[in-house]
Structure 1
Amino acid sequence: MTLRPLQDRVLIRPVEQEAKSPGGIIIPDSAKEKPVEGEVLAVGPGIRGDDGALHRPELTAGDRVLYGKWSGNEIKLDGEDLVIMRETDILGIVDQAHAEQQAT
């Protein structure tokens, strides 16, 4: 099954955080926070402004994004937990190349 988001909506696969803290403590599922980072799976065509022009989203499938902890709607598609939200609920795009350069 596939889902094609409408307007400025974005379909995201949340990325689970490490099960260990930086100090090596294993974090139980009950203490884990909701994911706030995810991978964009699909993006809608955009939304029409007051002038009638189509404003295309800045995101593309494959982007890694940060979003608010309580943003969007959780859905289950083919047994997988996903989140669908408006593009305006996304806080930013994680630049993987930049993050890898700073890690080295």
Structure 2
Amino acid sequence: MAATQLSSASALTLKSLPSYEGLWSSRGSPSVNVSVVYPNSARRSFHGLIASAVSVSAAKYTSIKPLGDRVLIKIKTVEEKTSSGIFLPSSAQKKEQSGEVVAVGSGKRVGDDRLPVAVEIGKEVVYSKYVGTEVEVDGLSHLIVKEDDIIGILETDDIKDLKPLNDRLLIKVAEAEQKTAGGLLLSESAKERPSIGTVVAAGPGVLDEEGNRQALPVSTGNTVMYSKYAGNDLKGADGSDYIALRVSDVMAVLS
């Protein structure tokens, strides 16, 4: 058996063989190309062919129209290098949670009415991690998410100016304790993540079945205690820690 190594002289595409018609698709579907290697002595016989590589090309899209309360977001480009010009490996690149709204659906149906989506085309928004479906439009990465997966609208480049949607809150996290009760300095790994902070912005509340907003039980300026592993961690322009979470994740208002 000849070595299974691809070259322009020893590889062919199965599309040229009538007996392999089921391996490629027709209009609009992803195309499948299979490259095979065969012995030089058996170029006229295709028995015992070995597929050495299979590649699937995803369908390309030029436009997408979201349905219902879904939103199409153009994902913000991931920073591939530091401010000093050092390239970051993929594992060190921060997963973006923001982007520009490029298309919206017709809205969510409530009773006999259809409520329009609360974000407008062209707005910069922040969305929850690990939500939505990623698609490629005109060579750029986009995300289709439900309106409820959008945390809020970014009014500026600083997260402190985030305008939360629905029942979400933006909380500035209290600083972690730097020392133990005995006065010993704590290392970064030993500092306990606080679950207390100050509400800096609050959403308008959720809609009931009649389309009316329900007021939130907390407001801007309240100091609150929240579930330890809830929400999305965010970083302000000055390095301050923030968290965006639902009001249901708040356990108590502190005074």
The alignment's TM-score, normalised by the length of structure 2, stands at: 0.35
What do you get for the CA RMSD once the two structures are aligned? 1.4
Q: Does residue 206 of structure 2 align to residue 47 of structure 1? A: yes
1:38 is matched with which residue?
Answer: 197
1:56 is matched with which residue?
Answer: 215
The SS at the match of 1:91 is: strand
Q: 2:185 aligns with which of 23, 26, 49?
A: 26
The SS at the match of 1:88 is: helix
The alignment's TM-score, normalised by the length of structure 1, stands at: 0.82
Pairs within 5 Å for 1:1-104: 1=156, 2-79=161-238, 80-95=240-255
Residue 51 of structure 1: how far off its partner (Å):
4.4
Residue 21 of structure 1: how far off its partner (Å):
1.3
Which string of whole-angstrom CA distances, capped at 9 and with x for unpartnered residues, describes residues 58-92 of structure 1? Answer: 11111111111111001224243311000000111
Segments ≥4 residues shifted beyond 6 Å: none
More displaced stretch, 38-47 vs 18-27: 18-27
The SS at the match of 2:163 is: coil
8 Å CA contact retained: 2:172, 2:197: yes
8 Å CA contact retained: 2:177, 2:192: no
More displaced stretch, 28-37 vs 73-82: 73-82
Instruction: Count matched residues.
Output: 95
Residue 53 of structure 1: how far off its partner (Å):
3.0
| Matched letter for residue 165 of structure 2 | L
Gaps of at least 5 residues in structure 2 are 1-155
The SS at the match of 1:75 is: strand
Distance 1:84 1:18 in 2: 21
Q: Which has the larger radius of gyration?
A: 2
Distance 1:75 1:49 in 2: 29
Gaps of at least 5 residues in structure 1 are 96-104
Which string of whole-angstrom CA distances, capped at 9 and with x for unpartnered residues, describes residues 18-53 of structure 1? Answer: 211112222111111211000100000000123433
| Matched letter for residue 246 of structure 2 | R
